[in-house]
Amino acid sequence: MGAELRIAIATDADIVTARQEGRRWASSLPFSASDLTVIATAISEVARNIVSYAGSGEVIIRVVERAGRKGVDIEARDSGPGIPDVRLALQDGYSTSGSLGLGLPGVRRLMDEFDIRSAVNGGTIVSMRLWTR
Amino acid sequence: MKPAGTELGSMEPTAGVLSELVSHLRRNRTQLREEWVRRITESRLLIAMTKEEIFAEATSVFDNYVEVLETGSVEALQAYARNLSERIIPRGVDTPEVLGIVLLLRDVLARSLFEKYQADFSLLNRVLDAYEPAANRIATTVAVGFVQERERVIRQQQEAIRELSTPVLQVRERLLILPIIGVVDSERARQLTEQLLRGVRSNRAKVVVMDITGVPSVDATVANHLVQTVEASRLLGATVIVTGLSPEIAQTLVTIGVDLTKMNTVGDLQGGIEEAERVLGYKVSSVREATVSDES
Amino acid sequence: MLVPILKQGDFLIASIQSSLTDADLLQLRDDLVEQVGRYRSRGVIVDVTVLDVMDSFAVRTLSTLAQMVTLRGAETVIVGIQPEVAFAMVQLGLTLGAVATALDLEEGLAYLRQRTKRSGRGGR
């Protein structure tokens, strides 16, 4: 399992590429059609946050394995301004310009694992995992 | 048998020892394999398979075993273990048997090594130092691979059973009935939703009567799934009428924040079907019951 | 114009043919609003059958579209949401709120005919 898919994110066309390629990658695992859609949507959300808030960054997708079960790991990194209050940003309904608030809380609920690390002017890393059943 | 210890210096590194013992095992392949098959039959393992089948499998397992000893490549063995499991699981071979035969092979080969190197105790020790970790890794790999494959098969079967146990019925044009019976866990709820939505699309249903009379209780997660099913159906242009809502389930829904007055519920299945027909039969009069999402 | 907009009597039908970027979606919204005004349409159908993802941006843009269309006295219906997409949307808590949805183009047209017939001038 060393392989990973890296997609540079800078334009909104890259958001589409990231979610399509991500879906294609994840489809090599036994995910249901709905799960693949959730994965593609999650990638779309985090990729858009990169474009909206940091200007540019990267989405990295990996196949991972634990205790005999496989899953997909998605990481979105940027070196942008960072999220000042991560907890606030993850609250349902919270929204500054709109994107961050609406997209992430739902994704976080659905992913098996979800983590945001962010520092003011220090960039942001959003990482999440969904395991096959 | 002339002691082979004299061929190797006492300070020979493990790699040299390993390749020497592998050569020995290969040279004696035929009789070692026969010994192994004999022991398998004696222990009454693999009774689900014929002698020919056992022999064929024994040959490839033996060869793979020795190869892994030599190369240390577990990947090839993992792939083989998976493949072997896929073939023998449908024949009713289970875990103790698989582990049993691999351990028997380990023993047969170990005995052979004992016999060959018995004259030189320190060499025998080095041979076993090389052999044992490799042999144990193999046993573990095959057993784990087998178990994982079994679990995968079981999950698949469970999925199939779940799907069979909840048919989506089309009884009239544009009307689907989904009778849910029995315990609903999160996994089943998810599957129900997917099945229903696919059914709505392929049957072009405008109304779904979801009857939960036969569901004793649900936890908050599953209650949430039910609500999601209703909402997702609406996105496909279908109204969901929930029937057979017990007081307990109603309470659970309220607890998770569902406004029951906004959910279309009817007492029993019959009443639900009547309501559905009324909804479907509407022309111009009852625009409030429009099957497209009017309420939020 | 990436998404073809067809005029069918009083209604406009936008059939999305391929994945849309955010900019494309905004363009579609603006085109539709402009045409509703130009043709005094009474209903708009957006067919999203082809979309394999409806994320928060898409949902927000379609909601905004519906609001702007309402201001011009017309109705909006979103049709063709795929089962997997619908499921993902509700799980993610993305709702189209008060925006009407229907199964497909045929249902969408039936809905608009009912709605606009009732109120005469169109809209609520």
Secondary structure percentages of chain C, helix, strand, coil, to 5: 45, 20, 35
Last residue of a domain, one of B98, B127, B160: B160
Check whether residue B62 and residue B15 sit in a common domain: yes
Mind telling me how many Å the CA of C88 is from chain B's nearest CA?
9
CA distances from A49 to A82, A96, B218 (A): 11, 12, 37
CB contact under 8 Å between A133 and B155, yes or no, is yes
Tell me what pLDDT residue B45 has: 86
Out of C77, C86, C97, name the one closest to residue B236 (CB).
C86
Mind telling me how many Å the CA of A133 is from chain B's nearest CA?
8
State mean pLDDT over B199-223: 90
Q: Which residues of C touch A48 (CB under 8 A)?
A: 22, 55, 57
Characterize the bridge pairing of strands C75-79 and C43-47: parallel
Confidence band (pLDDT; 50, 70, 90) for B4?
very low
Check whether residue B56 and residue B122 sit in a common domain: yes
Q: Could you tell me the residue range of the domain that residue B145 belongs to?
A: 4-160
Tell me what pLDDT residue C68 has: 96
Domains in chain B, number = 2
Instruction: Give me the residues of B, 255-284, that contact C with CB < 8 A.
Output: 284
Q: Which CATH number fits domain A4-131: 3.30.530.20, 3.30.565.10, 3.40.50.10490, 3.40.430.10?
A: 3.30.565.10
Structure ipTM: 0.91
Q: At what angle do helices B121-165 and B14-27 cross, to 10 degrees?
A: 70
Mutation target among C17, C18, C20, C22 for the A interface, most CBs of A within 10 A: C22
Query: Contact B250/B260 with Cβ under 8 angstroms?
Result: yes
- Give me the architecture of the C5-119 domain, per CATH: 2-Layer Sandwich (3.30)
Check whether residue B185 and residue B69 sit in a common domain: no
C-alpha angle with apex C13: C7 to C19, nearest 5 degrees? 135
- A53: DSSP letter: I
Mind telling me how many Å the CA of A120 is from chain C's nearest CA?
25
Walking along chain C (124 residues) 10 residues at a time, the average pLDDT comes out as 91 95 95 96 97 94 95 96 95 88 96 81 47
Instruction: Give me the residues of A, 59-78, that contact B with CB < 8 A.
Output: 68
CB contact under 8 Å between C83 and B194, yes or no, is yes
Check whether residue B13 and residue B156 sit in a common domain: yes
Instruction: Give me the residues of B, 137-176, that contact A with CB < 8 A.
Output: 144, 148, 151, 155
Q: Which range among A13-17, B26-30, B117-121 has the greatest average pLDDT? A: A13-17
Q: Could you give the CA distance from residue A76 to residue B113 in angstroms, rounded to a whole number?
A: 54
Tell me what pLDDT residue C120 has: 54
Mind telling me how many Å the CA of C20 is from chain A's nearest CA?
8
Residue B5 has pLDDT above 50, yes or no: no
Q: Could you give the CA distance from residue B84 to residue B142 in angstroms, rounded to a whole number?
A: 9
Q: Nearest CA to B57 among B35, B33, B79, B39?
A: B33
Tell me, what CATH number does B184's domain have?
3.30.750.24
Query: Contact A79/A123 with Cβ under 8 angstroms?
Result: yes
Q: What is the pLDDT of residues B260-272, one digit of tens each?
A: 887 888 888 888 9
Out of A34, A68, A133, name the one closest to residue B187 (CB).
A133
Last residue of a domain, one of B137, B160, B183: B160
Q: Which residues of C touch B193 (CB under 8 A)?
A: 87
Q: Phi and psi of B136, rounded to 5°?
A: -70, -35
Tell me what pLDDT residue A92 has: 62
Q: What is the pLDDT of residues B57-110, one digit of tens each?
A: 888 888 888 888 888 787 877 877 877 787 777 777 888 888 888 899 899 999
Residue B46 lies in a domain: yes
State mean pLDDT over B213-240: 90
- Contacting chains of A (3 CB pairs or more, <8 Å) are B, C
Question: Chain C contact for B292, CB < 8 A?
Answer: yes
A67 contacts: CB under 8 Å, gap ≥ 6: none
Check whether residue B276 and residue B236 sit in a common domain: yes
Check whether residue B141 and residue B259 sit in a common domain: no
Q: What is the pLDDT of residues A40-99, one digit of tens each?
A: 999 999 999 899 888 899 999 999 998 888 999 999 999 888 877 777 767 665 444 444
CB contact under 8 Å between B284 and C117, yes or no, is yes
Check whether residue B42 and residue B132 sit in a common domain: yes
Q: Where are the domains of chain A?
A: 4-131
Out of C91, C101, C117, name the one closest to residue B292 (CB).
C101
- Contacting chains of C (3 CB pairs or more, <8 Å) are A, B
Query: Contact C103/B204 with Cβ under 8 angstroms?
Result: yes
Residue B296 lies in a domain: no
Point out the least confidently predicted range of B120-124, B159-163, B232-236. Answer: B159-163
Collapsed DSSP state (helix, strand, coil) of residue C4: coil
Q: Which range among A17-21, B163-167, B219-223 has the greatest average pLDDT? A: A17-21
Tell me what pLDDT residue B11 has: 45
CB contact under 8 Å between B228 and C90, yes or no, is yes
Check whether residue B44 and residue B149 sit in a common domain: yes
Sign of the CA dihedral with B47 first, then B51, B57, and B63 last: positive
Q: Where are the domains of chain C?
A: 5-119
Mind telling me how many Å the CA of C3 is from chain A's nearest CA?
16
CB contact under 8 Å between B148 and A32, yes or no, is no
Mind telling me how many Å the CA of C2 is from chain A's nearest CA?
14
Point out the least confidently predicted range of A10-19, B84-93, B189-198, C12-21. Answer: B84-93
Residue B294 lies in a domain: no
Alpha helices in A27-127 (DSSP H): 33-49, 86-89, 99-110
